[in-house]
Structure 1
Amino acid sequence: MRYIIGSDKYHVVGNWNGIWKAQVPHKARHLLWRLCRGCLPTRSRLLERRVECTLNCPVCDEEIEDELHIFFRCAVARDSWSAAGLSSVLHNVKYQQTNAMDRIFAVCSNESSDTVGRVTMSLWCIWHNHNDKLWNDNVQLPRQIGRHAFDAWNDWYSVHKLQSNNVSGTTEAYLVRWEKPALDRVKCNVDVAFVSGSGRTSVGLCFRDNSGHFMAGMTQWQQTVISFVEGEAWTLLLAMDRRS
C-alpha cells in the first residue's frame, strides 16, 4: 500500500500538510482535500466521466461549472468571500493560479493556519449553498453565506481553543452557572435557532426577576436566515420593546 500511495501515478505534489493543519472542522478540511484531489462532482468533471448533464453553474447560470468557477469566479462566491472578510485573500496577486488546486496550495503555503481555516470554512459554505440550490432550489444571499462562514468559524475556533488549552477537562467555562440579577433588576436571556432548509430564523427570550422567578417570555420567527450575531441583536431589540 505504501508503494502504491507513494507512486508517481497516484501522488499529487502540493502542500497537503497545510490542508490538514488548517484550523477548521474536519468536514471542511475533507472538502479541501476532495477539491485538490479532483474528487468534487462538478458538472465539467461529471461530463469527463460520461455523465450527461448541463454545464452551466446552477447558482449563476453564466459560466461552465468547474472548481475554479464554483469557489473563485462565480459572482455569488466572490461576494461571499467579501462578506466573510476575506476579500484581500481572494484578490491577492499570489493566488491567481489557473486552477483551484494550485490556488489552495498557494494559500496554505503563504497564510497562517487560522486564515487557511477561515478560507476553508468559506469554501465549505459556498459548496453547501451550491448543493442546496442544486437539490432544493434554495439559495442564500452572498452576505448570508459569508456571515455564516464567519460566525461558524469563530464559534468553532473558540470552542477548539478552550478545549486545547484545558486538557484536564476542568475549566472555568464549565463552572459558569446562571446567576440571579441584582435586587430590583430583571435579567433577560435570549437565544436563536435555525432550522436547516426552512429559510427561517426563530428566536426566544425569557425574563426573570432577582429571585430567579419567571416573569415573561416570547418566541418569534421571521422568513429569512441571518447570522447568530444579527439574530441575537434582533432578539434583544424585541426584549427592549417588550419591556417598554
Structure 2
Amino acid sequence: MLNVSFWRKLWSLKLPGKILHFIWRVCRLCLPTAVDLRNRHVNVETMCSWCHNQEENGIHVLFDCVFARAVWEAVGLSDLIQFKPDENVFDVFLRIFTQCTRSQAVAMSLFCWQIWNRRNKWLWEHINISVYGTKATAIRMLEDWKSAQQEESTRRRGQNVGSKVWQKPIMGWVKINTDAAVIPGTHQIGTGAVIRDEDGRFLHARCMDIAGEWSVKEAEARSLRDAVGWTVAMGFIKCIFELDSKIVVDACNGGSGRSNFYAIIAECVEDFKHLDEVRVQFTFKSANVVAHTLARASISMSCFHEWQGNAPEFISDVLSFDLI
C-alpha cells in the first residue's frame, strides 16, 4: 500500500475531507464490513444484508452487490468497475485510479461514500434509499460543498459581490436566472433557466439535458447561451442574466480566449446585440435555487421541457421562498 502516486492523487482530489478519509479507510482495509468484523472475532452474519447472495466484504458492498452495480450503471461508470477473485478493495481502487481521469476519481469516491451510507441506513434503520436517491444525494452533497468553498473563498478575498438572496429586477426589466448541473465522470449535463418580471412573478422556465463531455464552466456558459437565445426569441428587450458562475460572468463582461469555453461566450455576446439593454451579473447559489432545481430536474427527466405562465410544481415552493 505504499503506492505514492495513488495516495497523492487521492489526497489532491477536491472533495470533502470526510470522503477522502473514508476512501483512505477503505484502501487501508479498515472498512467495518461484515467479513471484516467476523475476522475481528465479532459474532455477526457475514452475508450481505441487501442481496443475501455473497459475503459482505469491501469489494462486494461497494462494487459487486446488485445495488452497487445498479448505481455504477446509473452514473455511467460501470465500465471502470473490474476486479479479480484474488483481489482486495485496495487493488481495485489502485487500478481504477491509475486508469481513470481526475473527474472520474472524484465521482468514484463520491458514490462509494454514498453507497456505504445507504448500506448503513438499510442495515441499522431499515431505510431503503433508491438508486436514484443515492445518485441525487451524492451529487447534491458535492455541489453544496463546492458552493460553500466558493463562498468562503470569496469572503476571504473580501469580494462582496453578488447577493445571497434572490432580488427582483428593476422596473421594466426581466431577470433570467440560469444554471447547469454536471454529473462527475458521466457524459451528460442539465441546464435550467427561469424568467421573472419586476414583481417577481413567474413568466417562463425551461430545462434540458445535453449529452457530451463538458467542464463545469463550459456547462454554465452553455446554459447561459441557450437562455439568451430563448429570451431573444420571446421578444424581451431589457434583460438581467444572473448566474452563480463568476468565471462566466467575468468572461461575458470582458474576457477573451481561444478555448471552447470562450467560443460559447462569444456566441452569448453576439446574441446580446439583439437586446436593447442587457446585464450579466453574479449571484450566490443560495439566490439561484430555482434555476439550479430546473437544471438537476432535466437530468432525471431526460428531455426538453418548457413552461409558460404556470410554474411546474417542483419549483413552486422555491419561487415563493424567493419572494419572502
TM-score relative to the length of structure 1: 0.65
CA 151–177 in structure 1, closer or farther in 2 if over 3 Å, else same: closer
Q: Are 1:87 and 2:67 counterparts?
A: no
CA 155–237 in structure 1, closer or farther in 2 if over 3 Å, else same: same
Q: CA deviation at 1:160?
A: 3.9
Asked whether the 8 Å contact 1:122–1:149 carries over to 2, the reply is yes
C-alpha distance in 2, partners of 1:239/1:48?
Answer: 50
CA 153–53 in structure 1, closer or farther in 2 if over 3 Å, else same: same
Match of residue 15 from structure 2: 24
Q: Are 1:107 and 2:186 counterparts?
A: no
Alignment partner of 1:180 out of 154, 168, 171: 168
Q: CA deviation at 1:153?
A: 2.5
Amino acid at match of 1:39: C
- For 1:162-211, what per-residue CA distance to the aligned partner results, in whole angstroms no more than 9, with x for missing partners? 656886242634x4653224658999x9xxxxxxxxxxxxxxxxxx9845
Asked whether the 8 Å contact 2:71–2:131 carries over to 1, the reply is yes
Q: CA deviation at 1:235?
A: 2.1
Give percent identity, aligned residues only: 27
CA 160–118 in structure 1, closer or farther in 2 if over 3 Å, else same: farther
- For 1:135-184, what per-residue CA distance to the aligned partner results, in whole angstroms no more than 9, with x for missing partners? 101121112212222332344345546656886242634x4653224658
3-state SS of the aligned residue for 1:145?
helix
C-alpha distance in 2, partners of 1:86/1:151?
Answer: 18
Asked whether the 8 Å contact 2:29–2:89 carries over to 1, the reply is no
Asked whether the 8 Å contact 1:32–1:120 carries over to 2, the reply is yes
3-state SS of the aligned residue for 1:20?
helix
Match of residue 41 from structure 1: 32
C-alpha distance in 2, partners of 1:239/1:17?
Answer: 41
- For 1:45-75, what per-residue CA distance to the aligned partner results, in whole angstroms no more than 9, with x for missing partners? 1111111111111122221000000001001
Q: What is the root-mean-square deviation of aligned Cα atoms in Å?
A: 3.6
Amino acid at match of 2:112: L
Q: Are 1:77 and 2:68 counterparts?
A: yes
Alignment partner of 1:168 out of 157, 162, 166: 157
Structure 2 unaligned residues grouped into runs of 5+: 178-195, 202-291, 301-310, 320-324
Paired residues, what number? Answer: 192
CA 118–168 in structure 1, closer or farther in 2 if over 3 Å, else same: same
CA 156–122 in structure 1, closer or farther in 2 if over 3 Å, else same: same
- For 1:94-115, what per-residue CA distance to the aligned partner results, in whole angstroms no more than 9, with x for missing partners? x435221111122222323332
C-alpha distance in 1, partners of 2:11/2:173?
Answer: 49
Amino acid at match of 1:178: W
C-alpha distance in 2, partners of 1:67/1:79?
Answer: 17
TM-score relative to the length of structure 2: 0.50
Amino acid at match of 1:180: K
